[in-house]
Structure 1
Amino acid sequence: MRKFIKIVFSISFVFYLLALVVLLFIDSRGSIWTNVSLLEYVKHSSNFVPFKTISTYMTALSDGSMNIDIPIKNLFGNFIMFLPMGIYLPYFIKKINKISAFTISMILLLFVIEVIQVVTRRGSFDIDDFILNMVGALIGFGIWKTKVVQKLLK
């Protein structure tokens, strides 16, 4: 049974990584910014103010000032996108089975992803995306640590 679970986890992890690559780097927004400098692109496409876009989307959800699809996709999409990483990383990399090591690993991974998105102009650096991705990953890690999941894997 354990070998079967490992095979299923491995195959699903590959598909998950492919989906992340498509969502983060291939399904991009930013092609209109190809003729400006990287500094200008960063200035116009980045958000370094925590909770700025989150509060905008929460307000839009409550007052209907925006098509509901936009805040739902952005808030819940960013939250859910890295939830599986909270399960996969500690499963495959035993050294990050503690919350501190996992948190540091995720901060580094998410920071690298945000920087790559800006440098390649396949997205923007948004601290709110970072926050939502991190919360999702930490919830995934919490799920990973539950007795039910740990018992299933033994």
Structure 2
Amino acid sequence: MHVKQQRKIIFAITIFYTLLILYFLFFAFGRADKTDQISEYTFIFLPDAFFKLPGLSDLLHPVLMDLVDFGNIAAFIPFGILIPLLYRTHFARFMTLFLLSILVLETIQALTFLGSFDMNDVIQNSSGAAIGFGAYKLGFRTKNNWRNIAATGISGIVLMLGVWGFFGMLDQVFTKEMGPFVAINELKDSTGNTLTGSKPSNLKIGGQDVEPQYNVYSIEGKKKETYTYTLDNKEELYLFFNYGIPDQKDFQGSIKLIVDGHEFLSVSAKDQRHEPEMNKIFLPQANELTITIEGNETLWDFGYREMVYFWN
């Protein structure tokens, strides 16, 4: 096939594919029908899922967002192949122009209420274009068009898997996970002493046998008991605990949890069911924790899990 004819075909494919992508960016999924429901521009400059790509388990049971993330990359791979076939360009120039184009399109989406400006999309779209450019450079090395197409396809798959794995590692590096459970009785109180509460012993609550593993807190013959712990200004942690009133005791009492002067929990016996209650509370930051128990309330297996990076 003549070179000029090949170029015309590639140009036509590029125009058609560009129009297809523009349709999905601005009109697909009923975007135009939703514009009258939007009154504010949406600009997301800080990526919240910078390196997030679906894992192998996600592909076996994908949800819509997994397919969207994958499509945001795969759909732009052809541009990295078609544009260099039409115009001689090097990687830096190609990526600069592509990035500027995507930024303009994302801005138009936001200003026309046909979508939002989302830096996640910019990063994923640009990654797809970069993969395509790399596949073109690796694939188009001979005068045999079919061989070049096959080599480009294989290169694209290999590069996609490489980017996938790389992003997956970065996602793990920059994503916090829940650390190990720390029983509250392992901490010191505000005076530097250890307050362990009662030793774990079996309880019967609501007809259920309960076996505390770490600690048990109750008034122990008093009208009221208060425990205060120092959490050393820990950030992003979840408190875990169970509470209830043992079957052999009257159904009266209360529990309060106060962190740095703010009340995060206040329950009384009249608001509870006749069964063990499990609870989880997120704290953005915590220094001083105060537990106040009255009446026959019993609190057990109280502890926390801190959000940490895997290297911590």
Q: Take 1:33 and 1:78, find their aligned partners in 2: how far apart are those partners?
A: 22
Check whether the contact 1:31–1:121 (CA below 8 A) recurs between aligned residues: no
Residues 1-154 of structure 1: pairs in structure 2 closer than 5 A: 1=1, 2-27=3-28, 28-29=30-31, 31-34=33-36, 37=39, 40-42=40-42, 46-52=43-49, 55=52, 58=54, 62=58, 68-94=62-88, 97-146=89-138, 148-152=139-143
Between the aligned partners of 1:36 and 1:132, the Cα distance in structure 2 is 25
Q: CA deviation at 1:53?
A: 7.2
The one-character-per-residue Cα deviations of 1:57-82 (angstroms, maximum 9, x if unpaired) are 748x65x9xx8241232111100121
Aligned-residue offset at 1:31: 4.3
CA distance in 2, matches of 1:81, 1:128: 15
Fraction of identical pairs, as percent = 30
1:16 Cα offset (Å): 0.3
Q: Do the aligned residues in 1 keep the contact of 2:41 with 2:111 (CA within 8 Å)?
A: no
Supply the AA of the counterpart residue of 2:100: L
Question: Which blocks of at least 5 consecutive residues in structure 1 are unaligned?
Answer: none
Q: TM-score, normalised by structure 1?
A: 0.75
The amino acid that maps onto 2:47 is P
Alignment: residue pair count:
141
Query: Structure 1 residue 3: deviation in Å?
Result: 3.4
TM norm structure 2: 0.40
| Greater share of residues in strand | 2
Two-structure CA RMSD over aligned residues (Å): 2.8
1:49 is displaced (CA, Å) by: 2.2
Deviations 1:94-138 (A, max 9, x none): 2xx111111111110110110011111111111111111000000
* Highest RCO, 1 vs 2 (Cα 8 Å, sep ≥ 6): 1
C-alpha change, 1:20 and 1:36, in structure 2 (3 Å) is closer
Structure 2 gaps of 5+ residues are 146-312
